[in-house]
Structure 1
Amino acid sequence: MAPRGLPEPVLIRGTGLLGTSIGLGLRAAGAEVYLADPSPSAQAVAEDIGAGRPYRGDLTGAPGAAGTPGDTGGTVPGTVVVASPPDVTGQVVIDSLLRFPGAVVLDIASVKGEIQRQVRAGVVDGTLSQGQAAQYVGTHPMAGRERSGPVAARGQLFTAAPWVVCAGEDTAPEAVAAAEEMARTLGATVHRMGAADHDASVALISHLPQIAASLVSSRLQETPAASLALSGNGLRDTTRIAASDPQLWVQILAANAPDILQILYGVRQDLDRLISTMEDPSAPGARLDIAQLMAEGNAGHARIPGKHGAPPQAFAVVTVIVDDTPGQISAVLQDVGRAGVNVEDLRMDHSAGYEVGMLEISVLPGRKQELTDALSAQGWKVV
């Protein structure tokens, strides 16, 4: 059954990871979806994996005069999802508002303030009418992968992920409703937030971690292989997102530079403080200052929401040694299930030089000994 409250058909302009994932999810929900992308190969891949049908209208020429649709090729979308690269998102949003009068137009770029400013500027200079601008609503699905492009798309990408809706004061209620319906249809959790608050938030929780991961990873370029062979999950966790698309992040960081800069100034102060202390670590108070910096990190980490967005909670970890052979992990988890203990979190670490792994199972502290005893009784080696 098609999602209620989402005007159809849906036209997705941009078939990268997110655009294609949206198409897959909406198609699975029964929606009529069309795709358009300046890259024929990217669009062809998205079509081949079932994200939607090709849009046959003309999106290359200028749209008709305000209030007059351009050549739609017989298909007039009810909703347009702009999934273009961030540096052209504003242009594509305005083009869509002009080209498809009456359609709800939403974008999924990770920075919202600049796009809203471009739309408002279009009203001021007469490019857009106030009614056309009211059909636009900015959104940001807080989901993604290190891999990019349509081949990495998944219809379940947004399941349980936050989806921020940044409506302006003049945004039409039906546009907000359509954006929220699409997010819910794709399994996301809707959050309403102003554009300025959104951009300040993602600068800290998304953009800064990307910068930090990339800076740490850049230190590895000349590292001897023998040193890297010693690395464990600490380095992998810290640098995982450094594998992200550089071209995309150039656009994101440039678009949100003012908010990111304020955070980087604070990070620079902390680094200068640490460097000054480390230059003379035996000086009076130096060790206390290092401990204070680490404690401040503890305090910040403790504020990150826990499982399902609940307040942070400390779990106990049961570590099981498993052979690097098929079926080992599933066998452990089956025995955990038989013990009646819920898995709160799960991660895998590999032992350098040995064909074994360490499966770290997070459980409620009161169940740790019970699970340890149960797995040991089943013959598992519990560390």
Structure 2
Amino acid sequence: MSRPAVATAGPVRVVGTGLLGASLGLALSGAGVDVQLEDISPTAAALARDIGAGRLAGADGAAPALVVVATPPDIAAENVLAQLRAHPGAVVTDVASVKALVAEEVEARAGADVARYVGSHPMAGRERSGAAAADADLFVGRPWVIVPGRRSAPEAVLAVRSLAVDVGAAPVTLGAQEHDDAVALVSHLPQVAASLVAARLREASEAALGLAGQGLRDVTRIAASDPQLWAAILVGNAGPVAKALRALRADLDAAVEALERAAARGPLAEGTTGPLARVVAAGNAGVGRIPGKHGGAPRRYAEVTVLVPDEPGELGRLFGEVGEAGVNIEDLKLEHSAGQPVGLAILSVLPAAATRLEAELDRRGWRVVAG
């Protein structure tokens, strides 16, 4: 199989071989780019090498053309400055999830070398960390924010933009503070909210946990994230995150007041149902603004729910037979019940295809669950 053509010229040095760094190494190595791996932990670098993310740095002394600093945000600026000094011919970027703090320190200390620095941040990740969780397709279809500094050279900006495109991401250009305000709302606030909800489960009874459904799993999925990494991210973007949390707290206080009023005066007391309905309605409006498939405007789909036996190959067989029916799956949700030998596959399809798909799956012996 021929490799895809890429604009990124190697060697590319990846500093930090955790999830993002190792995934980037896998993607670039798969495209034939020479990747050098560097990490403060020799074991972490060796693991990234062994999964195919590149070779250990320093083996031949070749100077990198591009350096990607993939370390936590609290040490990103320090590593960017070190790489600018060590490799005077290289463009340097970092992929830290906060940008203003890093850019401010680099611009204050890098001197003329700051022209070779361009901040960036791929909006990709997962709750698992480390090279063992790396995926060459982690960036495919995801936004990659490019954050040029005031003195970034055009050719440096182009090199980082090309890197994003070469690994399948969609480049988006933002200012450093604009980026930090945005991610506080769409990334950092959800992490804190998920963690707070999941923390309430520590003392839950086994009976209560046995009733957990997909809603709880959806809300708490990212609560399994790395505490040390997220502490560094949150303090690095403290102002915007605090602002978002204060707004959330105000909404939460309004809901608590309505519930306490209902508990004290009865569920039909004045000022109880209205505020709670407004909370849910505001959520409807907000979720309706989340971009749809391929980043376009939200689009309504019909849902076809199918009971799937929890056995090897059954989900793949379902997908195959949906394809044979000539229907494209626009989105997918899986729901599992604890201790049950079946799960629910909720297939989002174009409304015009839903009835036909239900009939075809029923004909092929699948149990279609009525909506």
Q: TM-score, normalised by structure 2?
A: 0.94
Per-residue CA deviation, residues 231-277 of structure 1 (Å, 9 max, x unaligned), is 11100000000000000000000000001111111111111111111
- Conserved? CA contact 1:5–1:177, under 8 Å: no
Q: Which residue of 1 aligns with 2:243?
A: 262
Q: Which residue of 1 aligns with 2:19?
A: 17
Per the alignment, residue 265 of structure 2 pairs with none
AA at the equivalent of 2:358: T
State the alpha-carbon separation in 2 of the partners of residues 106 and 305 from structure 1: 28
Moved over 6 A (4+): none
| 2:123–2:144 Cα contact (<8 Å) kept | yes
Q: Identify the residue that residue 302 of structure 1 maps to in structure 2.
A: 288
Deviates further, 295-304 or 306-315: 306-315
Residue type of the alignment partner of 1:233: Q
1:138 alignment partner AA? G
| Distance (Å, rounded) in 1 between the aligned partners of 2:67 and 2:366 | 54
SS in 2 for 1:279: helix
Question: Residue type of the partner of 1:285?
Answer: G
2:81 to 91, 94, 100: 94
Letter aligned with residue 326 of structure 1: P
Structure 2 residue identity aligned to 1:343: I
Counting only pairs closer than 5 Å after superposition, residues 1-383 of structure 1 correspond to structure 2 as 5-56=7-58, 74-122=61-109, 128-130=110-112, 132-281=113-262, 282-383=268-369
SS at match of 2:261: coil
CA contact (8 A) 1:3 1:31 kept: no
Q: Is the 8 Å Cα contact of residues 6 and 31 (structure 2) preserved in structure 1?
A: no
The runs of 5 or more residues in structure 2 that have no matched partner are 263-267
TM superposition shift of 1:7: 4.3
Q: Secondary structure at the match of 2:137?
A: coil
Letter in 2 for 1:222: E
CA RMSD after TM alignment = 1.4
Unaligned runs of 5+ in 1: 58-72, 123-127
Distance 1:6 1:342 in 2: 34
| Residue identity opposite 1:230 in structure 2 | L
Secondary structure at 1:134 match in 2: helix
**TM, length-normalised to structure 1:** 0.92
What SS class does the counterpart of residue 382 from structure 1 fall into? strand
- Residue 182 of structure 1, CA deviation: 0.7
SS of corresponding position for 1:280: helix
What is the rounded CA distance, in whole Å, between the counterparts of 1:206 and 1:280 in structure 2?
Answer: 33
